[in-house]
Amino acid sequence: MINSAREAQCSGLHFLLGEVRYVLPEEMKVGSVIGNVARDLGLEVSQLDARRARIVAEGTSQLCELDLVTGNLLISQRIDREELCAQVSICILQFQLLLEDPLQASSLVLDITDINDNSPVFTAVEINLDLVESTVLGLRFPLESAHDPDLGKNSIQEYKLNHNDHFALELSTQINGNSYPELVLKKPLDREAKAEHVLKIIGIDGGEPNRSGTASIHIRVLDANDNVPVFSQRVYKASVKENSAIGTVIITLNATDLDDGVYGEITYSFSHLSDKLAGVIEINSQSGEVRVVGTIDYEEASSLELDVQAKDGGGQASHCKLIIDVIDKNDNKPVIEIKSVSANVAEDSKPGTMVALINIFDLDTGSSGHVTCSIPDNVPFKLVSEVKNYYMLVTDEMLDREKQSEYNITLTATDAGFPSLSSDAVLSIQVSDVNDNAPTFSQSEYNVNILENQPVGTFVIKVSAQDSDDGSNAKIMYHILKDMNLDASSFLTVNSDTGELFTSRHFDYEQSVHFQIRVTALDRGEPQLSTTCTINVFVRDQNDNAPVILYPVQTSGFIAEDMVPVEAPRGYLVTKVVAVDADSGHNAWLSYRIIKATRPGLFMADLHTGEIRTLRTFMEDDEPKQTLSVLVTDNGHEALSATATVSITLDDGLPVLKAHFEFVDESQNSDDLTLYLIIALSVVSLMLIILISGVIYFKLCRRGYVYRSTTANLPVFPSTYYSTGFADFSRCGTLLKDDRYDPFMTTVLPFLNLVVTFPVHTMFFLLL
């Protein structure tokens, strides 16, 4: 065994290219050990099975196999050197040992030596010759050589002829170096003494022990024929192109005979022509023309050597050699055999990763048998050849499955003949995915509205993420990130497979109008990659809160009484119903109306402000105590309401404040009216300035501070009347966030007893 291994570095590529050579005789028993491949290549035996090691051969013959347990290379079929290599002196068989993960190739060379397993064989076991009794002494008659497929000393080394008085055996050598026997006449023939001679020829090889083959020679002695046919040349040479058309004349042989008549008529024939050649070449028996009658294939025989006989009518014959050289024609396309291919190549494979092993050869010779292989330029692969007739397809750059997941690479093998022939084969390579892409959401932020008081499990929104990877690397799971300041999982749940979000609790607009959660999309690759999106959830208000009466205070057993002068004119402001609604927007817009009264038609309630005023002057028959039921209704789709009970007492001693009524007697002097209007306008302007200044000041110092003023003659809203939950009006707003209204009540001027509201964020605009 001869072992040679080397580490090859080619164009930045690193992979093991080892070569192991074994010398072994032919005809070893099946199962015999050739050598230990694992040891000779420096591999661990365990790697063979783990890396799916296997033997591939050029062509389809698989003469050896690998034992993955021991690492031994075993003979799996009969190895017959004569069958595999014919008459080639050196018989070399080449195999490739392939290892996967990563794909590597090592060359295994088997040098098959010859053994003497074949005996010499004569094509014809009986050779017939016709000689005239006047044949000249020393005339030589070529005989067919025995055939021994063995080589060297195991082939034919000598010929022997049994003892006789007339003939001897000598060896002659052909131009190609092969020897053949010739029968030489040593003693004159006498037909009358002996008309037939029977001889025995023996061919002996040089093996140990030697082998032999025999044939008999039958010689018939004819009457005298003075002249024998004579060829113009002892050896003729010709050439013919392979695949020449049937009927093509290769050469015309010529022999002459000086005799006349029948003895001068010459007939041409081939001596000892094999059946195979008989179907390819024939000779015209009369003219000596040698023609093509079948297919001449250079790959089967590059040279033909024929024995031609010219025989006259008297039986005299002479022989010549015809050597025909077959001219090779580029008639064979290159052959492409894919010996191994990695069905899937990871997209993160480094440049230089071996993908496939390709065997390319051409049955032609010379330049016609010189083959090169190529692939298109627009693929991230290239071919590397370190072993004759073998190419390795390796990656030339990093792959990206997301850009291209499959490559159909056309392999083109082209010979150097003229005209050039080529063959194509398509190699399909799948790029396997690695988890190199994180999921991506269709948008980084989602906004969604949900009505408060929805049942648990209500669908909210569906988020969707895409992953450009494949397989498990593209399967996405969704989950909600937990915030340190907010347990978002208590608000929503997410379907981990679909990304659908559902409510996990009831929402109360009055407690929370907006919250934010983050959802993570996580793939199932290794390592896992993820991305996050933000979901803004806005809770919409539902009319789920009824109005709440702030004044008059409605407590069991006590209702605040409002006093009004008996002399109060029509339109006199008696009191005001104050109510709030915890809802927002339209749901918090309130309206007031009297639904029940002690004396109907005596009082009216302002629809929007809740002010209670007289519709007429009091009469003597009016009850001194009046009770009103005022219905306060919000503006929701399904309106909610509350009822306020107002108790009014008529007092004779209470002075009438003209500022508390709206309807003025038309008979009053117009000058007095003008004066009153000027005074009222001045007071209103002054109070407006004071009010705005106060709002600015208290906004800077303290939100929602409530001013209250009292007079001796007007009802006051004591702080003790208000529930602690409603003491700070700034926190009872009906708008979102900063869109709140701050109510302020004043009793400084009776005719200004109203609620003044300003959006906080527009205060400075009003000042301008």
CB 583 within 8 A of CB 744: no
Tell me: the pLDDT tens digits for 433-447? Answer: 888 889 999 999 999
Q: Compute the distance between CA of residue 741 and CA of residue 716 in angstroms, rounded to an integer.
A: 22
Is the predicted pLDDT of residue 586 greater than 50, yes or no? yes
C-alpha separations of 628 from 566, 623, 672, 753 in Å? 17, 13, 35, 20
Amino acid type, 361? F
What is the chain's alpha carbon radius of gyration, rounded to the nearest angstrom?
61
Among 223-227, 417-421, 761-765, top mean pLDDT goes to 417-421
Query: Would you state the structure tokens that stand for residue 121, as one six-digit string?
Result: 């064989």
Tell me: the pLDDT tens digits for 506-556? Answer: 888 888 888 888 999 999 988 899 999 999 999 888 888 889 988 888 777
Q: Compute the distance between CA of residue 740 and CA of residue 732 in angstroms, rounded to an integer.
A: 8
C-alpha separations of 159 from 118, 128, 137, 156, 424 in Å? 16, 18, 21, 8, 52
Work out the pLDDT band at 87, boundaries 50, 70, 90. Answer: low
Closest by alpha carbon to 427, among 352, 353, 335, 357? 357
- Report the range of poorest mean pLDDT among 55-59, 67-71, 472-476, 536-540: 55-59
Quote the percentage of the chain above a pLDDT of 70. Answer: 84
Is the predicted pLDDT of residue 753 greater than 50, yes or no? no
Work out the pLDDT band at 582, boundaries 50, 70, 90. Answer: confident
Query: Would you state the structure tokens that stand for residue 484, as one six-digit string?
Result: 């340190």
Tell me: the pLDDT tens digits for 282-297? Answer: 999 999 999 999 888 8
**pLDDT, mean of residues 398-426:** 90
Quote the percentage of the chain above a pLDDT of 90. Answer: 24
- Report the range of poorest mean pLDDT among 18-22, 58-62, 399-403: 58-62
Predicted local confidence at residue 633, as pLDDT: 94
Alpha-helix runs per DSSP H in 611-762 = 670-701
The helix (run of H) or strand (run of E) holding residue 764 is helix 763-767
| Domain 2-113: assigned CATH number | 2.60.40.60
The helix (run of H) or strand (run of E) holding residue 767 is helix 763-767
Is the predicted pLDDT of residue 7 greater than 50, yes or no? no
CB atoms near residue 245 (< 10 Å): 7
Among 99-103, 242-246, 260-264, top mean pLDDT goes to 242-246
Work out the pLDDT band at 484, boundaries 50, 70, 90. Answer: low
Q: Compute the distance between CA of residue 20 and CA of residue 108 in angstroms, rounded to an integer.
A: 5
Residue of higher predicted confidence among 60 and 77: 77
Provide the 3-class DSSP secondary structure of residue 175. coil
Provide the 3-class DSSP secondary structure of residue 598. coil
Work out the pLDDT band at 579, boundaries 50, 70, 90. Answer: very high
CB 446 within 8 A of CB 533: yes
Is the predicted pLDDT of residue 399 greater than 50, yes or no? yes
Q: Where are the beta strands (DSSP E) in 362-421?
A: 371-374, 381-387, 390-395, 406-415
Is the predicted pLDDT of residue 725 greater than 70, yes or no? no
**pLDDT, mean of residues 477-505:** 83
Tell me the Ramachandran region of residue 290: left when phi exceeds 0, alpha when psi lies from -120 to 50, beta otherwise.
beta
Is the predicted pLDDT of residue 304 greater than 90, yes or no? no
Predicted local confidence at residue 310, as pLDDT: 92
User: Within its chain, how far is the Cα of 572 from the centroid?
Assistant: 88
Domain 440-540: CATH superfamily is Cadherins (2.60.40.60)
Tell me: the pLDDT tens digits for 645-668? Answer: 899 888 877 776 555 554 444 444
Work out the pLDDT band at 673, boundaries 50, 70, 90. Answer: low
Query: Would you state the structure tokens that stand for residue 612, as one six-digit string?
Result: 């209670």
CB atoms near residue 614 (< 10 Å): 22
Indicate where the chain has its CATH 2.60.40.60 domain(s): 2-113, 126-327, 335-432, 440-540
CB atoms near residue 161 (< 10 Å): 18
CB 597 within 8 A of CB 626: yes
Work out the pLDDT band at 142, boundaries 50, 70, 90. Answer: confident
Predicted local confidence at residue 89, as pLDDT: 76
Closest by alpha carbon to 715, among 649, 662, 658? 649
CB 215 within 8 A of CB 125: yes
Domain 126-327: CATH superfamily is Cadherins (2.60.40.60)
Q: Where are the beta strands (DSSP E) in 59-135?
A: 64-66, 72-75, 91-99, 104-113, 126-132
Residue of higher predicted confidence among 568 and 721: 568
Work out the pLDDT band at 369, boundaries 50, 70, 90. Answer: confident
Predicted local confidence at residue 735, as pLDDT: 36
Closest by alpha carbon to 538, among 511, 514, 518? 514
Tell me: the pLDDT tens digits for 151-193? Answer: 888 888 888 999 998 999 988 877 666 788 889 999 988 887 8
CB atoms near residue 566 (< 10 Å): 16
Tell me: the pLDDT tens digits for 328-342? Answer: 888 888 999 888 887
CB 450 within 8 A of CB 492: no
Work out the mean pLDDT of the chain and round it to a whole number. Answer: 80
Task: Tell me which residue has tokens 């799971």.
Answer: 477
Q: Hey, which CATH number is domain 335-432, 2.60.40.60, 3.30.470.20, 3.30.1540.10, 2.120.10.30? A: 2.60.40.60
Predicted local confidence at residue 750, as pLDDT: 38
Is the predicted pLDDT of residue 403 greater than 80, yes or no? yes
**pLDDT, mean of residues 103-131:** 85
**DSSP letter for each residue of 614-636:** ESS---TTS-SEEEEEEEEEE-S
Predicted local confidence at residue 767, as pLDDT: 31
- Report the range of poorest mean pLDDT among 30-34, 90-94, 591-595: 90-94
Alpha-helix runs per DSSP H in 216-360 = 275-278
Closest by alpha carbon to 184, among 230, 234, 124, 143? 143
Is the predicted pLDDT of residue 752 greater than 60, yes or no? no
